[in-house]
Structure 1
Amino acid sequence: MCADTPDYRDTVFLPETDFPMRAGLPQREPDWLAHWARIGIYDRLREKAAGRTPFTLHDGPPYANGNLHIGHALNKVLKDFIVRSQQMLGHDARYVPGWDCHGLPIEWKIEEQYRAKGLNKDEVDVVAFRQECRRFAEHWIDVQREEFKRLGVTGNWADPYLTMDFHAEAVIAEEFMKFLMNGSLYQGSKPVMWSPVEKTALAEAEVEYHDHTSHTIWVRFKVVEAPNANDPLPGTIDQQFTPIKDRELGSVRANPAATARLADASVVIWTTTPWTIPQNRAVAFSPDVAYGLYIVIDNTTEGASAKAGELLLIADNLAGACQQASRATFQKVRSVSREELASMILAHPYRGLPEGKGEWDYDVPLLPGDHVTDDAGTGFVHTAPSHGDDDYQMGLKFGLPMTWNVEPDGSYRQDLPVFGGQHIILPDGKEGPANVSNIKALAGQGALLAKGRMKHSYPHSWRSKAPLIYRNTPQWFAAIDKVLDDGMGTFGDTIRRRALTSITQLVEFTPVSGRNRLHSMIEARPDWVLSRQRAWGVPLTCFVKKGAKPTDPDFLLKNAQVNARIVAAFEAEGADVWYVQGFKEKILQGIVDPSDYEQIFDVLDVWFDSGSTHAFVLRDRPDGTADGIADLYLEGTDQHRGWFHSSMLQACGTKGRAPYRGVLTHGFTLDEKGMKMSKSLGNTVAPQAVIDEYGADILRLWVAQSDYTADLRIGKEILKGVADSYRRLRNTMRFLLGNLAGFTEEERVEPAAMPELERWVLHRLAELDAEVRKGYAAYDFQGVFQKLFTFATSDLSAFYFDVRKDALYCDPPASARRRACRTVLDILFHRLTTWLAPILVFTMEDVWLSRFPGADSSVHLQDMPATPAGWLDEALAQKWQGIRQTRRAVTAALEVQRAAKVIGASLEAAPVVHVADAGVLAALKGVDFAELCITSAIVLTGDPEPAEAFRLPEVPGVGVVFEKAEGEKCARCWQILPDVGSHAHAHTCKRCNDALA
């Protein structure tokens, strides 16, 4: 600009906004939290939504025992997306957060504190101990509540639900007593997953599987009875087998059993739990597996424990593996039929053990079992009914005796010969001496054929991380296949049938794969183990008759009046009252003789607690649901065997159906390399660390940009990418704010009076409105955000805003084009802020308050505005698709000239554009295509494109010949036009001259 050129900078309408370019989220987000607290945002939303159709997402309770991890953040943010979007779509979206408060993890922490002080938990009054557990949970509830709120999660934080509230404890007991009264509760002695470290039974949901190296042993069970036991097998050894060198058969010929019999053979079993051998009561075979009698013909390999000439019974498909393990050579004598196997009786390998005191001098039957395969081992399965479910089922079928050799701490009973007092698992979770002692004893008995080690997936406690065992103990169970006559048989007459019907007919799953996952788990699961041998929980509120057997009809006291007294006592004083001296007498007095009954002090599985939440949250609270059923349960995929599962079983026992209409599951969080996070690897990402560096909105945006149905990766580089997307979106919102400064209703232009470009934007908004609503309804947050981000950055920032800057900055305020543009910007503002508010809660509040400040103002009190269907214009959209495609070719051609430094800005150009398609050419001539391409002039022609024309391969039929614009540069709008300098205002074009006038 020359020295004598007037400065018109103050005459253009540049954006005006205090909305900062830099977000400063970590510092500023707490201010919006305080704002929401001041205006009581959640209560305001409930008032506004009165009379609307409710939408209730029931919160799966996190456990109150530590700071939040990234999985918690993912879970709660997803829930918040749903609650906020459903509210803004026009529902009364209720969200009552809750906490799981009972259970072993908290009890374990208090025990640790006791041990550190040298105290013994068992010497402390149980009520005092429970009170310490309650205080521990209260502390972490307060901590976690603030951490959840810092994530921007809305909900009834002032009145959450807690499983340790007195009313909750009363309802949990009441729900348990429904199982008591409908006959599905029973006491049984069967093997359950047992934690020797924690000294309690565990449910499947409390078990996780990790790699574990186990002992493996091949053990001989001598045949003591066999069919035709006294008949020798046909021929002598020399006659039966192919002639072998004397050296190789010397030891065999020396064997006096030269005429071999089945009665001289041993059945070989294989197991990874040597400690279960003392509990063996049978050996199982499969009627569908081919078995053979094998003779050891070579045992000269170093380390071989097989005896030359001995006869072994093994599955044919596994004989090779058995040879390899025993370092010997076998040769098959003949096949053995299922009838022969079923007639055999074996000796326990410890029969005759000198120190055994006759403990194992019993016969071991060989029995057919459907669970036996020839995939691994020997084809014969050692069966200890007290230590495995398949084994237990065999015991029930064939009347095998149970054993009681293993104590709660994972040690053998003290009076067990040879092994008494030895631990299987030590108190610190490490392996005890029991396995090795058994291996040595088997070797001493000549029963050990081979041994080894194997790494495999093995059950561990999800709390102590210690290995588990199957252990036979008396426990309380809910029978899920018992036919119930409770008047709730619409969906089935057993808990299992009701659950399976609910899954297939009543519940929608997101993703749909969740249906099959939950269905298969419930279809195959055993009865529910309800009891735990701990102190911190809701007790099993039942009484048993002294001297009665579990199978006796009067074993359990079933009395509605007793049950009502228990519920009333819990409502008034909480579950602690169960442990107060004299409670039994107080409850039973006047109904039955208290001295005739024993009080049960086991506590309920905490999954029963959380599985019952539908009753004391959805059913009982005023902000619950009319039918006690939630619209949605949302948790991680592990909850198919956890909360989704236990809630289903519990409700099918007490309501007759699932307590939810929808189930949504998300994946787990991994580091950037796809590795599972662990403190030992140092690859964890703490939510607070992300918030401190980037702000909670960046963490929320990471969730929105991810496919939550699979496992999600997070790390520094990923968060940098998320932050970059955020900055681009923030700039879009800043442009809107800056160019809407001073906008009034008087400026508004009706769509019919708008230029085509504005009507095209309205068309896109109408398309997006349908897509956004559909996406939020389907919980497709990734899809919603991707569509909005693409629209904001491509359709708006890179096209519409770029084109309309000139009109916004330089047109006079009263110009129809500028007014139409500002009207569209206002429409865009209201839609983008509300569409994005469920995801970017803090940023959209910042955007909203920047335009509509006020003590009670909030974007979260708005609904997503209705979008007129009349804005849709497919013909216009088709036309503008061709215009934008041609524009792409022009801008690409100009970029080549800019890179070559022929021009500095696109306004220096006046290209000639050759368009082959007559329809597209007519459309281009119907608009100001120079304005759209941000050039000072443009020539459109249908003439064939010359050889030197620029072409863009993806835009066929368009050629661009570069020409420089002719004329002088307007000092106000910077367009180069021939008329510049011919108007009253020096160095301006006609448009700017008129604007200045």
Structure 2
Amino acid sequence: MCADTTEAVDYKDTLNLPKTDFPMRAGLPAREPGWLARWEKIGVYDRLREKAGRQPFTLHDGPPYANGHLHIGHALNKTIKDMIVRSHQMMGFDARYIPGWDCHGLPIEWKIEEEYRKKGKSKDDVPINEFRGECRAFADKWVDIQREEFKRLGVTGNWADPYLTMDFHAERVIAEEFMKFLMNGTLYQGSKPVMWSPIEQTALAEAEVEYHDKESSTVWVKFDVVGGGELEGAKVVIWTTTPWTMPSNKAVVFGKDIAYGLYEVTGRPEECWARIGDRYILADNLAPDVLGRARLDETMYRRLRDVTADDLAGVKVKHPLAGAEGASGEWDDLRDFRAADFVTDDEGTGFVHCAPSHGMEEYELYRDLGMLQEVITYNVMDDGSFRPDLPFFGGKYILSRKGGEGDANKAVIDKLVEVGGLLARGKIKHSYPHSWRSKAPVIYRNTPQWFVAIDKPMQVGDDEFTIRDRALREIDRVNWTPRSGRNRLYSMMEARPDWVLSRQRAWGVPLTCFVKKGTLPTDADYLLRNAEVNRRIVEAFEAEGADCWYEEGAKERFLGNVVSPDDYEQVMDILDVWFDSGSTHAFTLRDRADGTEDGIADVYMEGTDQHRGWFHSSLLQSVGTTGHAPYRNVVTHGFTLDEKGMKMSKSLGNIIAPQQIIDQYGADILRLWVAQTDYTADQRIGQEILKGVSDSYRRLRNTMRYMLGALSDFSEADRVAQADMPELERWVLHRVAELDRQVRDGYAAFDFQGVFQAVFTFATVDLSAFYFDIRKDALYCDGNTLRRRAARTVLDILFHRLTTWLAPVLVFTMEEVWLERFPGDESSVHLVDMPETPEAWLDADLAAKWAKVRQARRVVTAALEVQRVEKVIGASLEAAPVVYVADADQRAALEAVSFEDVCITSDITVTGDAAPSDAFRMPEVDGVAVAFAKAEGAKCARCWKVLPDVGTHGHPGVCKRCDEAVSESA
């Protein structure tokens, strides 16, 4: 007998509704610090190190400078590193990360000098170790500040014991590594043009230079020809963008394969420095441009004849200042004149003025000719001023004290005009090297510096090689991400000059060597190479730090009873800070208990600018001391730009600080931005981009919340074996197995964007929009059925995979998700590994079948959406469509599953009949059409399906399935 259905019954309490306190609103900015404190309290990083039997995996940290708050590039860099470390740990490695800081060098020294300048104080008036102490304190302060800022990003690591280049042991090892070059014969002192910062008064390496546009004065200067037969009295014209180098000119060179002509001035306008009858030797390709610069049109000159290389062979030239009144004979010697390979007729005049003290090509030319002594000048002082006794120009500055244009160029140009040496002048805007710290232009200046010869054969153990050859070999033994990094570093290493090690500063590790008085750098005994002296130095550095080098009596302390201290001079230059950071592998990877057995890191990861910086110097240093690279993988990221693709700068007002994002959104949103971007290229960030990231986050959070609610009372008694599961659950496990492989391969290849996109698509498309949508009915309305237990088993499997797959990215949120289900004082998702996923879950045939099912489902749901929009139905459960399927295999696939459940309808008919012309179709899905029909029967008061049997069972107003579920729960 049917139950009475006249009175509505509320079956809400009989449903298996999701239960969770997990909030949809994350509140990350306020809640993240609590998780940080919790991890520190339970010692997550240290507990991970206690896991025995794991293969070590070490990412060696490229040290940031300890001299200011973090910028967005720091956040990108450290987050990528953290994702590398965490993902490898959760894949079963012992993933170690020792944060480090670069504490020496000009960035910090410059800050202390700025403070001095504000007080009207000079560092030269302060005892050097007092100054160094202030630098050390400054660095120490910023290490502490930056450490907390890095930790706030959720970065895991040995924060309690980082490496610092200013630690005594580090300073000892840096000196020790330098001494290896001293002892193997590759260290030498030479005098050659190097990039010099007049503002900072030190040599700079290429890695310390950045290029910006600069407007420079440019001049066309006349050199009178002496000798050369018919060319006597003619003028060779040179062009230069550095007029200040003219007082140091020692030669003019030409190209032996360039076509030259002799040009005579036949007319002239007013205000022109050319004179009628003047004859100029110029490259034919450039003559019209040069004469045009002199305001001569084509009617005012004529070409007299060819000028051959043989004609030029007998020529000497006079400096335009030769014989000038008051010059004291400074420029009276005839200038050298010869062919050189580097001269072209692409721009200029076809002749190049040579000041070998200020140009590397000219220096190398005269070095190879054995004529350096004749052409090297010392006209420019450390501060960029001309030597005081230089006629006309003594004391003039190339740059102002603030880095702008000095008075030297104007003084030189004015004097050339006065003596009739100028043909033309102008301005040019070009890319020019600037110091990346002071932002001021640099110059090339010949100074005595200490170098490592990279083409000199040396020996490490029984192995003999040159640093360049071995470095090139090692580059091809390293895995580069992206691959272009290999090509960049390889080309740099092929072309680079000898390594300049010395800097004329105070805050750093000194070049711990001594030179013999009365000898020349080329003499065999110029450098003291003594193992006992080296031992004394490194032992003192270990105990007292590098400051002991500067203490009174240091020379006697280190040399006494070994050699006579009076016979030697102590070198007071400091090492290039890139040598410091390039040596970090020695005292971090090699010397620490949590380092590596072979002193080689699994990964170095920095910005692409480090191909000329840390990657470069580390390779040079390691090859020179060990014979191999210090890394197996090198990963590089691009630069961070604003939303319009502009470089961030204070002047543009487009800087976004990491703390600003954390305060507004939380660190997990910043981390998710990193995971969503292709970090190997330049990345953009801004408010609109972050809103999009937040939307992705919310969708993921909703997925996790759904699972938590459905698993609220799941126990092992509910678990179902894979073989007993319905097809839909087995299809999900197939996707899990596919994705597990993709996630692990992606993390191993440092492809975080690929990993996240794969997991995100799976979570939002395969799960939320498909599997969860279908199984919501069974989870809510079924009793203790196999279908419901199988679905919850799959949800449990998904929970463990998604939380661990995403934990390296969303470190805070996945911890929150994990603790919601597994609370406890010692519980943490970061203490577990990604679960192993059985290969047996893979089922290609099942996946192919369900691909056909999903394809047909798309047509059905689109057809029903049309009816919903037109208000024919309010929900898909009111429908019972007819699905016309032309393909027999696809039709069989639909008939083999509960296709009405898949489509969330109350009933469905699948047929191979021809579809009516008005049936709904989708152009991209061939052979499937849908005819709409309403479901017949009454609406179940519990599950809302429209079925014919509703109201015919023991409980009023429900279908058979719900009647059984209600009875079971009673």
Q: TM tier, shorter chain?
A: over 0.9
Q: Contact conserved, 1:304 with 1:327, CA < 8 A, in 2?
A: yes
| Partner of residue 273, structure 1 | 242
Aligned counterpart in structure 2 of residue 876 of structure 1, from 834, 846, 849: 846
Q: What are the superposed Cα offsets for residues 607-635 of structure 1, whole Å, 9 maximum, x if unpaired?
A: 00000001000110001111111111110
| Partner of residue 502, structure 1 | 474
1:339 Cα offset (Å): 2.1
| Partner of residue 482, structure 1 | 456
Question: For the aligned residues, what is the CA RMSD?
Answer: 1.1
1:262 aligns with 2:234: no
Measured in 2, the distance between the counterparts of 1:710 and 1:289 equals 42
1:201 aligns with 2:203: yes
| Partner of residue 136, structure 1 | 138
1:584 aligns with 2:569: no
Aligned letter for 1:567?
V
Measured in 2, the distance between the counterparts of 1:34 and 1:291 equals 77
Q: Contact conserved, 1:126 with 1:535, CA < 8 A, in 2?
A: yes
Measured in 1, the distance between the counterparts of 2:645 and 2:457 equals 47
Aligned counterpart in structure 2 of residue 299 of structure 1, from 268, 273, 276: 268
1:198 Cα offset (Å): 0.5
Q: Contact conserved, 1:369 with 1:394, CA < 8 A, in 2?
A: yes
Aligned counterpart in structure 2 of residue 284 of structure 1, from 240, 253, 256: 253
Q: Contact conserved, 1:908 with 1:975, CA < 8 A, in 2?
A: yes
| Partner of residue 20, structure 1 | 23
| Partner of residue 489, structure 2 | 518
Aligned letter for 2:664?
E
Measured in 1, the distance between the counterparts of 2:556 and 2:852 equals 87
- Structure-to-structure mapping, 1:592-741, within 5 angstroms: 592-741=563-712
| Partner of residue 278, structure 2 | 310
1:335 Cα offset (Å): 1.6
- Structure-to-structure mapping, 1:149-548, within 5 angstroms: 149-226=151-228, 229=229, 261-300=230-269, 302-329=270-297, 330-398=301-369, 399=371, 400-487=374-461, 489=463, 493-504=465-476, 506-548=477-519
Aligned length: 958
SS class of match (1:355): coil
SS class of match (1:423): coil
Q: Contact conserved, 1:488 with 1:655, CA < 8 A, in 2?
A: no
Aligned counterpart in structure 2 of residue 85 of structure 1, from 72, 84, 87: 87
Percentage of pairs with the same residue: 69
Measured in 2, the distance between the counterparts of 1:101 and 1:332 equals 63
- Structure 1 pair 488/42, CA: closer, same or farther in 2 (3 Å)? farther
Aligned letter for 2:183?
M
1:395 Cα offset (Å): 2.2
1:488 Cα offset (Å): 5.4
SS class of match (1:143): helix
SS class of match (1:208): strand
Q: Contact conserved, 2:254 with 2:351, CA < 8 A, in 1?
A: yes
1:751 aligns with 2:722: yes
Q: Contact conserved, 1:539 with 1:604, CA < 8 A, in 2?
A: yes
Q: What are the superposed Cα offsets for residues 569-605 of structure 1, whole Å, 9 maximum, x if unpaired?
A: 0000000010000111011111011111111111000
1:181 Cα offset (Å): 0.5
SS class of match (1:412): coil
SS class of match (1:450): strand
Measured in 2, the distance between the counterparts of 1:588 and 1:124 equals 27
Measured in 2, the distance between the counterparts of 1:306 and 1:696 equals 68
1:336 Cα offset (Å): 1.3
Q: Contact conserved, 1:670 with 1:712, CA < 8 A, in 2?
A: yes
1:966 aligns with 2:936: yes
TM-score by length of 2: 0.98
- Structure 1 pair 488/222, CA: closer, same or farther in 2 (3 Å)? farther
Aligned counterpart in structure 2 of residue 932 of structure 1, from 902, 906, 912: 902
Measured in 1, the distance between the counterparts of 2:957 and 2:833 equals 49
SS class of match (1:795): helix
Aligned letter for 2:357?
S
1:323 Cα offset (Å): 2.0
Measured in 1, the distance between the counterparts of 2:809 and 2:459 equals 48
Q: What are the superposed Cα offsets for residues 518-572 of structure 1, whole Å, 9 maximum, x if unpaired?
A: 0110111111111111100000100111111111111111000000000000000
| Range with greater deviation from structure 2 (80-89 or 317-326) | 317-326
Q: Contact conserved, 1:811 with 1:995, CA < 8 A, in 2?
A: yes
Q: What are the superposed Cα offsets for residues 53-95 of structure 1, whole Å, 9 maximum, x if unpaired?
A: 1111100000000000000000000000100111111111111
Q: What are the superposed Cα offsets for residues 98-136 of structure 1, whole Å, 9 maximum, x if unpaired?
A: 000000111111111112222221111111110000000
Measured in 2, the distance between the counterparts of 1:613 and 1:288 equals 49
Measured in 1, the distance between the counterparts of 2:778 and 2:30 equals 37
Q: Contact conserved, 1:130 with 1:536, CA < 8 A, in 2?
A: yes
Structure 1 runs of 4+ off > 6 angstroms? none
Aligned counterpart in structure 1 of residue 815 of structure 2, from 832, 842, 845: 845
Measured in 2, the distance between the counterparts of 1:851 and 1:334 equals 93
| Partner of residue 827, structure 2 | 857
| Partner of residue 535, structure 2 | 564
Aligned letter for 1:163?
T
1:3 Cα offset (Å): 8.8
Measured in 2, the distance between the counterparts of 1:325 and 1:3 equals 104
Measured in 2, the distance between the counterparts of 1:486 and 1:669 equals 41
Aligned letter for 2:10?
D
Q: Contact conserved, 1:503 with 1:515, CA < 8 A, in 2?
A: yes
Aligned counterpart in structure 2 of residue 907 of structure 1, from 854, 877, 883: 877
Aligned letter for 1:36?
W
1:831 aligns with 2:801: yes
Q: Contact conserved, 1:488 with 1:656, CA < 8 A, in 2?
A: no
Structure 2 gap segments, 5+ residues each: none
1:225 Cα offset (Å): 1.6
| Partner of residue 30, structure 1 | 33
Measured in 1, the distance between the counterparts of 2:263 and 2:276 equals 11
Q: What are the superposed Cα offsets for residues 841-868 of structure 1, whole Å, 9 maximum, x if unpaired?
A: 1111111111001111111111111111
Aligned letter for 1:64?
A
1:487 Cα offset (Å): 2.6
Q: Contact conserved, 1:284 with 1:380, CA < 8 A, in 2?
A: yes
Q: Contact conserved, 1:126 with 1:579, CA < 8 A, in 2?
A: yes
1:656 Cα offset (Å): 1.0
Measured in 1, the distance between the counterparts of 2:867 and 2:218 equals 75
Measured in 1, the distance between the counterparts of 2:122 and 2:882 equals 92
| Partner of residue 233, structure 1 | none
TM-score by length of 1: 0.95
Measured in 2, the distance between the counterparts of 1:52 and 1:339 equals 74
- Structure 1 pair 287/488, CA: closer, same or farther in 2 (3 Å)? farther
Aligned letter for 2:152?
R
1:40 Cα offset (Å): 0.4
Measured in 1, the distance between the counterparts of 2:113 and 2:588 equals 31
Measured in 1, the distance between the counterparts of 2:160 and 2:456 equals 42
- Structure 1 pair 930/600, CA: closer, same or farther in 2 (3 Å)? same
Q: Contact conserved, 1:285 with 1:380, CA < 8 A, in 2?
A: yes
- Structure-to-structure mapping, 1:546-557, within 5 angstroms: 546-557=517-528
Measured in 1, the distance between the counterparts of 2:406 and 2:117 equals 22
- Structure 1 pair 514/488, CA: closer, same or farther in 2 (3 Å)? farther
| Partner of residue 773, structure 2 | 802
SS class of match (1:191): strand
Q: Contact conserved, 2:460 with 2:626, CA < 8 A, in 1?
A: no
Aligned counterpart in structure 1 of residue 787 of structure 2, from 796, 814, 817: 817
Aligned letter for 1:20?
P
Structure 1 gap segments, 5+ residues each: 230-260
Measured in 2, the distance between the counterparts of 1:509 and 1:488 equals 29
Q: Contact conserved, 2:250 with 2:355, CA < 8 A, in 1?
A: yes
| Partner of residue 234, structure 1 | none
Measured in 2, the distance between the counterparts of 1:497 and 1:3 equals 93
- Structure 1 pair 3/111, CA: closer, same or farther in 2 (3 Å)? farther
